[in-house]
DNA sequence: CGGGGCATGTAACCTGTTACATGATTAG
DNA sequence: CTAATCATGTAACAGGTTACATGCCCCG
């Protein structure tokens, strides 16, 4: 589970409130980890209870921004976690299940849904490419810049991967649905 | 959520017990969807309650195999689900979080962990390639064969993607850790 | 006939999602 | 001053994980 440590990393970069973090998860961190604002608020409360972050003291809690900053213990925990062993991630893509099911009981209208998603993935790919030319136009010199650029490149590659898979699937679905008619 | 429909698909192929299905999730379906045996048993009970599958009648329940087969309503539900709209999947890879955290508070021993996983992913890639040459050596003619082959190719491509990302990460981590020492 | 392994199942917990509620701020 | 919006939070639930329990079967 990576959410708490993703939040700690975001707080290393700068102290932030829950809504700040939610916005950054939408716009920046989003290409490799997602979180809703409810997850973020719950996790912030836990991180504070663990003594890894603290909220700048505010009496009122609802309705007003509440900025958190990372504590030394949180920074230490983050460093510990980074190199921790974890099980291998598996591909977990519902499209694969759908293709496999289509092989068993098709043909269906799956091609229409793939076309819809293809458009959205293509848009996302273009967004990422814009981020790349905006933020990483120069040849990287700093270690941290190179690492963050690599993360974005992986996001780009993942979208390309999906688009390629979708196009190959469409090719099969279309040719064989003609065969069947 | 795709697990119930992955199970339905598996049951279209042939009637199976929970342990049969768990074995197939380990060995065949595993490259695109994972499930533990507890998930499978719970989901089979739900599918039966929904009237989509039925268990061949056995009095005793614990300890003895219990085969399920798909019902016409289950097959219909599966066809309906295949072309259903779903939100776009996001990359969700803890390595990306770790690299991003490394950029913020590194250097750490992350390179050791990446090397470990790289070995495992390489093994998995080789396993998939063996499946491919075993099951899809001939040029595909049938629609269903072509679709299942595509799914396996996506698994292969995902592993290749991961391996490439890991190698690029190692390159950055190694060169800069030399810089720092 | 006893012990180990296998098939099934129960329970507790955690993460992630959805729906909704409440207080503060701001625009008009 | 009111309505819309923002920030925070509560509640309920579904999916996924881990630990463990129970009963059957088979092998020695």
Q: Between helices B143-180 and B94-105, what is the axis angle to 10°? A: 10
B173 phi and psi angles, rounded to 5 deg: -65, -40
Q: Is B41 helix (H, G, I), strand (E, B) or coil?
A: helix
Looking up tokens 């975001």 gives A10
Q: Which among B75, B89, B146 has CB closest to A93?
A: B89
**A74: its two tokens:** 């949180």
Half-sphere exposure of A50 (CA within 13 A, CB side): 20
Which residue in the set A2, A90, A102 is minimally distant from B94, CB to CB?
A2
pTM for the whole structure = 0.90
* Residue labelled with tokens 């056995």: B58
Tens digit of pLDDT for each residue in B12-36?
A: 999 999 999 999 888 788 888 889 9
Protein CA at A23 to nucleotide C1' at C20, angstroms: 21
Q: Domain boundaries in chain A?
A: 3-82, 94-180
Which of residues 18 through 47 in chain B touch A, CB cutoff 8 A?
29-34
Kindly report, residue by residue over B120-149, the tens digit of the pLDDT. Answer: 999 999 999 999 999 999 886 799 999 999
Q: How far apart are CA A12 and CA A71, in angstroms?
A: 9
Given a contact cutoff of 8 angstroms between Cβ atoms, the answer to whether A43 and A7 are in contact is yes
Binning pLDDT at 50, 70 and 90, where does residue B181 land? very low
Q: What are B107's two structure tokens? A: 């250097």
pLDDT of residue A82: 96
Check CB contact of B82 with chain A, cutoff 8 Å: yes
Q: pLDDT tens digits for A38-60?
A: 999 999 999 999 999 999 766 66
pLDDT in tens, A75-119: 999 999 999 999 888 888 999 999 999 999 979 999 999 999 999
Mean predicted lDDT score pLDDT of chain A: 90
At residue B63, the pLDDT reads 73
**Nearest residue of chain B to residue A112 (CA atoms):** B83
Q: Calculate the alpha carbon distances from A117 to A158, B1, B32, B83, B88 in Å.
A: 14, 17, 18, 12, 7
What are the structure tokens assigned to B166, written together?
A: 């890991």
Residue with tokens 């009970």: B45
Buried b (16+ CB within 10 A) or exposed e, A46-68: ebeeeebbebeeeeeeeeeebeb
The span from the CA of A47 to the CA of A40, in Å, is: 10
What is the rounded distance in angstroms from the CA atom of residue B180 to the CA atom of residue B160? Answer: 30
DSSP chain A: --HHHHHHHHHHH--EEHHHHHHHHHHTGGGT----HHHHHHHHHHHHHTTSEEEPP-S--SSS--EEEE-HHHHHHHHHHHT---PPP----HHHHHHHHHHHH---SHHHHHHHHHHHHHHHHHHHHHHHHHH--SPP-SHHHHHHHHHHHHHHHHHHHHHHHHHHHHHHHHHHHHHH-
Tell me the pLDDT tens digit for each residue of B50-87: 999 999 766 667 778 899 999 999 999 999 999 999 98
Which pLDDT belongs to residue A180? 47
Q: How far apart are the CA of B8 and the nearest CA of chain A, in angstroms?
A: 8
Burial B165-174 (b: 16+ CB within 10 A, else e): bbebbeebbe
| Number of cross-chain residue pairs from A and B with Cβ atoms under 8 Å apart | 233
Nearest to B113 among A83, A93, A153 (CB): A83
Distance (Å, whole) CA A46 – CA A25: 18
Please choose, from the candidates B18, B23, B11, B10, the residue with its C-alpha nearest in 3D space to the C-alpha of residue B62. B18
Return the closest nucleotide (C1') to the Cα of B62.
C8
Distance in angstroms (rounded) separating the CA atoms of residues B5 and B35: 12
- A65 or A78, which is more confident? A78
* Cβ contacts of B149 within 8 Å, gap of 6 or more: B132, B135, B136, B140
B87's tokens: 């939100």
| Average pLDDT score, chain B | 90
Q: What is the pLDDT of residue B89?
A: 83
CATH classification number, B3-82, choose in 3.40.50.620, 3.90.76.10, 1.10.10.10, 1.10.1060.10: 1.10.10.10
Strand C nucleotides in reach of protein CB atoms, 7 A cut-off: 5-11, 14-19, 21-25
């Amino acid at each position: 589970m990576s959410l708490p440590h993703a939040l700690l990393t975001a707080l290393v970069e700068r102290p932030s409130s829950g809504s700040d973090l939610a916005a950054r998860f939408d716009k920046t961190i989003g290409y490799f980890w997602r979180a809703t604002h409810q997850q973020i608020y719950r996790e912030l409360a836990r991180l504070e209870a663990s003594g890894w972050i603290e909220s700048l003291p505010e009496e009122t809690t609802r309705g007003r921004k509440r900025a958190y900053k990372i504590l030394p213990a949180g920074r230490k925990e983050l460093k510990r976690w980074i190199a921790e062993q974890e099980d291998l991630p598996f591909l977990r893509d519902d499209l694969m299940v759908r293709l496999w099911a289509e092989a068993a009981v098709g043909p269906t209208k799956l091609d229409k849904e793939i076309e819809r998603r293809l458009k959205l993935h293509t848009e996302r790919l273009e967004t990422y490419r814009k981020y790349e030319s905006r933020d990483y136009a120069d040849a990287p010199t700093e270690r941290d810049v190179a690492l963050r650029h690599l993360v974005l490149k992986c996001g780009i590659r993942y979208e390309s991967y999906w688009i390629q898979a979708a196009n190959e699937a469409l090719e099969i679905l279309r040719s064989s649905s003609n065969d069947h008619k």
